[in-house]
Amino acid sequence: MTLRQLFDPSGIAVVGASATEGKIGYEAMANAARFDGPVYPVNPSATGELFGSRFVSSVTEIDGDVDLALCCVPGPAVPEVLEECGEAGIGAAVIYASGFAEAGEQGEALQTAIVDVADEYDISLLGPNTSGFIVPALDLRCSFASGAEEIPAGNVAVVAQSGGVGLVLAFQARRQGRGVSAEVGLGNRANVGFAEAIEYFDGDEKTDAIVLHVEGTDDGRRLLEACRESDTPVIAYKVGQSDVGDFAESHTGALTGDHELYTAGFAQYGVPTVDATDDLLDAAAALGDSPTPDGPNVGVVTAQAGPGIIITDRIQRAGGRLPQLTEETQERVDEILPGITYADNPVDTGRPMPEFGEVVTAVAEDDRVDVVLVYELFEAAIGFPIEELDGLAERVGKPVLFATEGIEEALADERQALRDVGVPFFETPERAADAAGALARYAQLREDDRVTDGGELQAGTNADEAVTADE
């Protein structure tokens, strides 16, 4: 199965398209109509045009190239629609309806029925029970969600078990001034699951990091193996540390499973895990926009001691280390700023100053440092050290992260300048430190992987338990 027809289609059929605002068939058509390729509203009982395209009565009647069907019909109608898709040569479908495997025996039978049809015709099924997906760079917005049309393009692929959480992440990414290469709600994962999505986005040129929202899955082994095979960094957020009872099962038809086993499994397969939606996007920004770090050693430069202490504390708890800087670097810092407040790691300059960027460069060039984290409260008269940061990460081959705080409107231009030179930006000291911690764990997990089994699954390990725990 390739997901090319799903995520990069020639044309789209919106089955169950409707002229009634508020209906899923209307909202999905409204969003899909933005696509720069043919989009056909399909409805046997409608005539005329919708968003500039003429209604057709069935996908088999479409005179043109269509790879993808958006099924805006009730669950029981889906098998027949898929049959027609198969006959029309459509290779991918999104099924928004619920009432499938998450909804008891009858729903399970319905899900089996659609998988059988999909198998027969080789159709990739996203869903059922999903809000769909978005690929902003292609203006491909196969979602009925309000606001889907405004999600900007970025380099992080969001692969969420829950369509709702996928949207949560997409909206957050936008609020943070970032974007997504794709936002995908897997829903019930009839035949497109985590593994298939990871494989696709690993090969996607627009994607530099993949983030997973996982409630629970019965194909954990394939998920983990896809993570290990991925050259693109993967970060996972596994929900369900406490007992969320049968509510989760009622959602996407999966038990949330054992949190510790999942975490151990992800770690063994080189995937750092985080514990919140904003952490997930922060870690992705750090991994996606930076050179891969060689190790877990973080060099911190701060213009204020208090946030520096928070960051120091937090990095260590998140799996990073703060090495002592080399004597050479300490001397260099002391030459730049004689009588500096604190010249070891973290380097604390006391307040922002014109030499701040030079200090950052000195720390970035220290051989003991694998990751650089910079914090300074914004001071309008000084600004950020854009010139020194421009190209620094690439030159030293290390991630350089930046966090600040101040009056948003006053620092907006400078923040944009940071973005323009590719410096990942974070909103609070804790979130910057957690992102540095994720980089540190990623480096450590890759290192562990190299020194142990070189990539092969060891029978009887924790990870093996993890992946079979809820099979």
Residue 213 sits in the site that holds its own copies (CB under 8 A): yes
Q: Applying CB under 8 A, which part among 135-143, 190-198, 221-229, 248-256 lies near its own copies?
A: 248-256
Give the tokens for residue 326: 């080399």
Residue number with CB closer to its own copies (13 or 280): 280
Non-local CB neighbours of 95 within 8 Å, separated by 6+ positions: 71, 78, 114, 125, 126, 127, 128, 129, 130, 187, 190
Residue 410 sits in the site that holds its own copies (CB under 8 A): yes
Q: Applying CB under 8 A, which part among 264-272, 379-387, 438-446, 455-463 lies near its own copies?
A: 379-387
Residue number with CB closer to its own copies (232 or 404): 404
Q: What's the angle, vertex CA 335, arms to CA 331 and CA 336, rounded to 5?
A: 120
Residue number with CB closer to its own copies (231 or 246): 246
Residue 214 sits in the site that holds its own copies (CB under 8 A): no
Residue number with CB closer to its own copies (1 or 168): 168
Bridge-based pairing state of the strands 180-185 and 132-135: antiparallel
- Report the residue from 45, 231, 407, 460 that binds its own copies according to the rule CB under 8 A: 407
Q: Applying CB under 8 A, which part among 118-126, 135-143, 199-207, 308-316 lies near its own copies?
A: 308-316
Residue number with CB closer to its own copies (214 or 392): 214
Residue 328 sits in the site that holds its own copies (CB under 8 A): no
Residue 179 sits in the site that holds its own copies (CB under 8 A): no
- Report the residue from 12, 123, 167, 443 that binds its own copies according to the rule CB under 8 A: 167
Task: Restricting to residues 86-115, name those near its own copies by CB under 8 A.
Answer: 98
Count of positions on this chain that bind its own copies (CB under 8 A): 70
Instruction: Give residue for tokens 């999942």.
Output: 262
Residue number with CB closer to its own copies (172 or 461): 172
Let me know if 384 is exposed, middle or buried by CB neighbors in 10 A (0-12, 13-18, 19+).
Answer: buried
Smallest separation (angstroms) from its own copies to the CB of 322: 9
- Report the residue from 11, 240, 291, 422 that binds its own copies according to the rule CB under 8 A: 240
- Report the residue from 53, 60, 428, 462 that binds its own copies according to the rule CB under 8 A: 428
- Report the residue from 244, 255, 417, 421 that binds its own copies according to the rule CB under 8 A: 244
Give the tokens for residue 337: 């700023």
Residue number with CB closer to its own copies (280 or 362): 280
Nearest residue to 157 via CA among 191, 221, 202, 216: 202
Give the tokens for residue 192: 């497109």
Smallest separation (angstroms) from its own copies to the CB of 448: 21
- Report the residue from 91, 307, 323, 385 that binds its own copies according to the rule CB under 8 A: 307
Q: Applying CB under 8 A, which part among 79-87, 286-294, 343-351, 438-446 lies near its own copies?
A: 343-351
- Report the residue from 199, 294, 405, 449 that binds its own copies according to the rule CB under 8 A: 405
Instruction: Give residue for tokens 């027949």.
Output: 80
- Report the residue from 2, 58, 292, 316 that binds its own copies according to the rule CB under 8 A: 316
- Report the residue from 31, 188, 277, 330 that binds its own copies according to the rule CB under 8 A: 277
Task: Restricting to residues 23-82, name those near its own copies by CB under 8 A.
Answer: none
C-alpha distances in Å from residue 46, one per residue of 8, 25, 68, 264: 28, 12, 20, 53
- Report the residue from 37, 79, 164, 203 that binds its own copies according to the rule CB under 8 A: 164
C-alpha distances in Å from residue 111, one per residue of 120, 123, 186: 14, 14, 14
CA 271 to chain centroid, in Å, comes to 13
- Residues lying near its own copies in the complex (CB under 8 A): 21-22, 98, 145-147, 150, 160-168, 171-172, 174-175, 213, 215, 239-245, 247-248, 250-252, 256, 275-278, 304-310, 312-313, 316-317, 341-342, 344, 346, 348, 350, 377-381, 405-408, 410, 427-430
